[in-house]
Structure 1
Amino acid sequence: MLITDTAQADGYYRALLERAEEYNGIFFVGVRTTGVFCIASCRARKPKRENVEFHSSFKSALDAGFRPCKICRPTENAHAAPPAVAQVMAWLRADPQSRITDRWLRQNGIRPEPLRRWFVQHHGMSFHAFQRMLRINAALQELKRGRSATQVAFDSGYDSLSGFAYTYKKLTGSAPSDPARLILLHRFTTPLGPMLACATEQGICLLEFADRRMLETEFKDLQRLLKARIIAGENAHTRQVEREIGEYFAGSRQQFDVALETPGSAFQRSVWQSLRTLDYGSTHSYQSLAERIGRPSAVRAVAAANGANRIAIIVPCHRVLGKDGALTGYGGGLARKQWLLEHERGPSDSTFRLEA
């Protein structure tokens, strides 16, 4: 959304002049004289006030015709964890059972207030709630290895088994004696903005851009279909998908090896599997996709299954265009769809041609 409030825009301009990192991701500044947009901490020479406009999201800036600045890389770095947050995340990954308090943060030179704001903005929960989820996920793994609930409770920092059991059941929906099935939710950044990956023990079950409008509905559907609850956490699948998606954006990967779990109807799964056979850099119509699965008259149903895909990029629904070759709806937004297609085509060929 374009920021039209003059006082708010003036405040953002002051933050731009000061290169205030805490405003990264809060606003995106479009520079009319160069046609690029930046984040607050950009090191480039600062434009005059009359030559800029402010947007509340990088998608709004893209839609307004601005292109990402090559210096500050706003679509990637606006949502990347600041150094202090990255340091805390590294500590938590090394020891997920630890309890990091505000006092401990201050002793280590980290201000708790910006840290808390970042977690609420980017994870939708407090920092302490995020820690609790990590501890419960670590506890679940210990329980599955055969350790007793009492041992796990005290190793997780709880003073009593009852306190551990209460928190465990509140987050997972079951008692420690009956280990729950969980869906782990992990956030990471890409050149097109932050993505969310959900994974079970079997594989990745969701991969979406964080601003997808239907995300809450997809979360509810996943929990219902898999009979599991979503909590923050990581496993081997989330780490692998972050690495492979990074390689895809770097141009060094065209096929993905990470395991997937894709609950849905038999028809939906057949469409999703067919999508995975589409060649890197190719584009296809819904009609050709229907013919691939032996259902040439089921074009509308194929389109609906394509729209129900929860795993972006790896199940490449972005390679499907309208019958006339025009860009059609995409959950991550048409600007991203076009970017992905041009990325796969390469700089020498940005023409989209439908293939059989």
Structure 2
Amino acid sequence: MPLTDLTLAECLALRPDLDEPADLDAFWDQTLRTARAAGGTPRFSPVDTGLTQVTTHDVTVPGFAGEPVRGWLHLPAGADGPLGCVVEFLGYGRGRGLPHEQVLWANAGYAHFIMDTRGQGWSTAGGDTPDTAALNGAVPGFLTRGVDSPHDHYYRRVFTDAVRFVEAAREHPAVDPDRIVVTGVSQGGGISLAVAGLVPGLAGVMPDVPFLCDIRRGALIAGAPPYTEIAEYLRLHRDRAGTVFTTLSYVDAALLAARATAPSLFSIAMMDEVCPPSTCFAAYHRYGGPKDLRVYEFNGHEGGGGHHRREQLAWVRELLGSPRPQDDPGSSPLDTPRPV
């Protein structure tokens, strides 16, 4: 597989000048205040997965407009004190899946919240999260859904869901609210960067081959979906480029990442035709907090795979310390969540 974009040296030197809306902060402040005002209480229902070393709960969190967002909470079996926590967002087209499928972080000793992505994936025994908006783009996919206005855009709803999911994790008695790391691959990486810019006080951020960064460049050079959805839309609607890229600037994770302060561990793959490395480096260079980077020069969108999971495990352990701090004898039972 050849290089799909700039060389590593060029990417390391890259400092793109992105168009940032003047009201970006006000837009997101109003969006999140409205979502919180909608109210609602997270719900956690035990699930029997057949696993003995991990306990799992079916999660429902009030997200955008108070709409229910599904997910899973995995805990190490027998955990009896507030834990460091990893909140994970998923890749494009993926739903939360089956409850036993993703238990790495719980096996490492951390609480692990997984957020379903509205309108994506497939129904499980517990159901998934529909996107209730009636808006649709002119091409299949999510990038052009509601693209005529930032108030209507699909990722306004998704990013709000993600912020509310982190807030629910902070209030759960199994979680130490000061030791929360957000992460995700591709779309999940872009969501984690957006959350890092919108939620103060996170302990860490781990975006892998992140999507939704320098979106205009992605639309110009990506050789594979999802960025190609934008090019396909504008191929049909030649007069709407200004409107489209103005709307997408409100959900560009490279812009929101500049507001982040938590330590971060990025991964970028130099032969990635889905999320071209220059777009990922745009977010890395603009990131506002301390940052570290792993580059996989000969990989595509699969990135570092299991090798990078090993890097993440070591990084989180160094960042958060022991997964299980000294128990607080006055702490409440972990299966009794507090309302957000």
Fold in common (TM above 0.5): no
Q: TM-score range by the shorter chain?
A: under 0.3
More helix by share: 1
Higher relative contact order (CA 8 A, sep 6+): 2
Question: Which has more radius of gyration?
Answer: 1
TM-score, length-scaled by structure 2: 0.24
Tell me the TM-score normalised to structure 1 length: 0.23
Give 1 or 2: higher strand fraction. 2
